[in-house]
Amino acid sequence: MKTESRLEKIADLLLEISSILMVSGANTNRVDLNIDRFASVLNCESYSLISQKTIILTVIDKETRKNCTKVKNLPSHKIDFTVISSVSKASWNAISQGWSLSQISDEIKLIQQQKRYPRLVVLVAVSFAGAGFCKIFGGDYINLLIAFVSTFFGMLMLQTAHKREFNPYISVSLASLTASVLASFGVYFNLGTQPEATLATSILFLVPGVALINSFTDLLDKNVLNGMVRFANGMMTVLAIALGLFVAMLIFQLK
Please compute, for residue 157, the number of CA atoms within 13 A of its CA located in the half-sphere on the CB side: 24
| pLDDT, tens digit (0-9, with 9 covering 90-100), for 86-103 | 999 999 999 999 999 999
| pTM to 2 decimal places | 0.91
| pLDDT, tens digit (0-9, with 9 covering 90-100), for 17-29 | 999 999 999 999 9
Question: Is residue 56 helix, strand or coil?
Answer: strand
State the pLDDT at residue 78: 86
Q: Residue ranges of the domains in the chain?
A: 3-112, 119-252
In this predicted structure, the answer to whether residue 2 has a pLDDT above a threshold of 60 is: no
Please state, in angstroms and rounded to a whole number, the distance separating the CA atoms of residues 90 and 105: 11
Name the band, by pLDDT with cuts 50, 70 and 90, for residue 211: very high
Q: Give the number of other CB atoms < 10 A from CB of residue 189.
A: 10
Q: What percent of the chain has pLDDT over 70?
A: 99
Best CA proximity match to 233, nearest among 31, 39, 25: 25
| pLDDT, tens digit (0-9, with 9 covering 90-100), for 33-75 | 999 999 999 999 999 999 989 999 999 999 989 999 999 999 8
Q: H or E stretch including 73?
A: strand 67-73
Q: What is the DSSP annotation of 211-243?
A: HHHHHHHHHHTT-HHHHHHHHHHHHHHHHHHHH
State the pLDDT at residue 1: 47
